[in-house]
Structure 1
C-alpha cells in the first residue's frame, strides 16, 4: 500500500469551495477521502496542514503550533481560495479543526455553511486528548528506533509541554462555544456514538444551541472521516450542502 506523505491538498473543480480542517496530531490525509468525494460532486476542496503537524517530531506540534497560528492559517485558506476565483465558501473540521471551522462560521461573513465532526466544543476535560497525544508521541518515537534513554527524555519533554497547549486550545474552544447561540448559518454536526476522545452527549447540547444545526449520529469512533462511517458521513454531508 502506498503511504501518502502528509501535505496540504487542493482539488480545483467548481466555484463552490470547501475547506477541510484536520485534527490535533492529524494531517490533511485524514480529510482526503472526503475531499475526493466532494471533488466528484464538483466542489473545489482545500485542506491546509496546521503548523507543526505532519512531521516525524511530535514536539513540533507543541513548539511550532498555537491556536492563533492555526486560526491565521484558516484565514489564509479562505484568501487563497478567493485568489483562485472561488465565490462560495464552506468550512468543516474534525476535532481540533471543528473549533476553527465553527470560528470561521462565526467570524467570516463569506463562509456560508459549515460544520464539525467529533467536535470538542463544550468539552469538560481534555484528559483523553492528553493521553492520546502521549500515546501518539511514543509510537512515533518507537517507529524511529529511538533508544530508551532518548525516548524517555523526549517523552518527559512532551509531557512538560502538552498541558500549556491544551490550555490554549481549551481557551479558544470556550470563546468559540460562547458564541454558538448567536450562530445563524447551516451547521452540520457529525458525531460518533462510541467516540472516546470527546463526550458524544455534548453534540446534542451544541445542536440545541445552534439555530440551524443538523445532527447526524454514527455508530463509530472519533475519526469519522476515515473509519467505517466515512461513506455515510460523506453522503450526509453532500445532501446537507445541496439542501442549503
Structure 2
C-alpha cells in the first residue's frame, strides 16, 4: 500500500540521548515532524514511526488495532535500548496513550514522558455509541485537523474506522487501570481549547500516575494538534528541557 506523501516515518541518529515520538489516531508522522526535526537539530537520536494502518487509507487502518500500534512503538523502544540510549517518549493524543503504555510496561526503559493532549478518556457520547455503531457502519467522519493556525493542515484521514477505534477504547480502559505503574518524570502539555479530547483526559492522567516529577503546561494558542500549531516551539523546548534533566 503506497504511503501518502509526507506521512513517511522520520529517523535521525544523534548521541545516546533519544526521543521516541508517537503520532495520533488516524494521523501520521507528518503531524509530529516539526517536533522531531527540532529534536534532531539539537543533536538527539529521534524515532518517529508510522503506526500500522496510518498514512495510507482508512480502509487499511480498519484492518489494524491497538495491539499493532503498541507493538510498533515497543519495537522502536527496544531498538533504542539495544543502542544504549536514554530514551524519553513523547506523543500526541492517542500517541500520548501509547507513550503511557510503554512507561507502564517498561518503566526501566522510559526515562521521561512528554504528553501533548493525551487521549486516555473519550467523550461519554463516543464511548457509548462506538460499540453499537461499529456493527452497523464501517466508518464515521474524521476528527483530524483541529488547528488554530490557518496556513497549516494535518495529514489525517477524513474517515474514522470504527472497528479500530473500538480497540483503542477498550485499551484505554485497561491503560487507566495501569496508570499507577507510570513512574517516569512527566510533562503534560494541554491546549486550553481542544475540540477532540476532553479536559478530563489530562486530569485523569495527572491524578493517576505515580510519577513524583510531574509538570503541566497550558497551551493558550493552540487547538488539539498543538504539534503543528502556534505553540509547537514550546513543545520542542519543553522536551529538550526534560531530556537535559533526565539525561544530563
Under a length normalisation based on structure 2, what TM-score does the superposition of the two structures give?
0.79
Partner secondary structure for residue 228 of structure 2? coil
- Distance in 2, matches of 1:114 and 1:4, equals 29
User: 1:82-97 to 2 correspondence within 5 Å?
Assistant: 82-83=81-82, 85-97=83-95
Residues 94, 126 of structure 1: CA spacing in aligned structure 2 closer, same or farther, 3 A cutoff?
A: farther
- Summarize deviations over 1:108-162 as a string: whole Å, max 9, x none: 121221131111113344739x8xx74449x9xxxxxxxxxxxxxxx9xx68xx3
Structure 2 residue matching 1:92: 3-state secondary structure: strand
The 8 Å contact of residues 98 and 118 in structure 1, kept in 2 or not, is answered as yes
Query: Residue in 2 aligned with 1:151?
Result: none
Distance in 1 (CA, whole Å) between partners of 2:125 and 2:226 is 19
> In the alignment, what sits opposite 2:101?
103
Structure 2: gaps of 5 or more residues: 131-138, 146-157
Residues 1:199 and 1:136: Cα distance change in structure 2 (over 3 Å): closer
Is 2:72 the counterpart of 1:70? no
- Partner residue, 2:188: 189
Q: Which has the higher helix share?
A: 1
Decide whether the 8 Å contact of 1:203 with 1:215 is kept in 2. Answer: no
Partners of 2:125 and 2:25 in 1: CA distance:
12
Instruction: Say yes or no: does 1:6 pair with 2:7.
Output: yes
Q: Distance in 2 between matches of 1:49 and 1:218?
A: 26
- 1: CA distance between counterparts of 2:92 and 2:124? 18
When the two chains are superposed, the root-mean-square deviation of aligned CA atoms in Å is 2.6
Q: Contact between 2:110 and 2:184, CA under 8 Å: does it hold in 1?
A: no
Greater RCO (Cα-Cα under 8 Å, separation 6 or more): 2
C-alpha separation between the residues in 1 aligned to 2:190 and 2:125?
17
User: Do 2:65 and 2:164's aligned partners in 1 also have CA atoms closer than 8 Å?
Assistant: yes
Q: 5 Å matches for 1:1-244? A: 4-55=5-56, 57-63=57-63, 65-83=64-82, 85-108=83-106, 109-125=108-124, 127=126, 134-136=140-142, 162-210=161-209, 211=211, 212-219=213-220, 220-244=222-246
TM-score, with length taken from structure 1: 0.80
Q: Is the 8 A contact 2:81 2:109 kept in 1?
A: no
Name 1:144's counterpart in structure 2: none
1:150 is aligned to none
User: CA separation in 2, counterparts of 1:86 and 1:48?
Assistant: 19
Tell me the matched-pair count.
217
Q: Which residue of structure 1 lines up, in the alignment, with residue 148 of structure 2?
A: none
Structure 1's unaligned 5+ residue stretches are 140-154
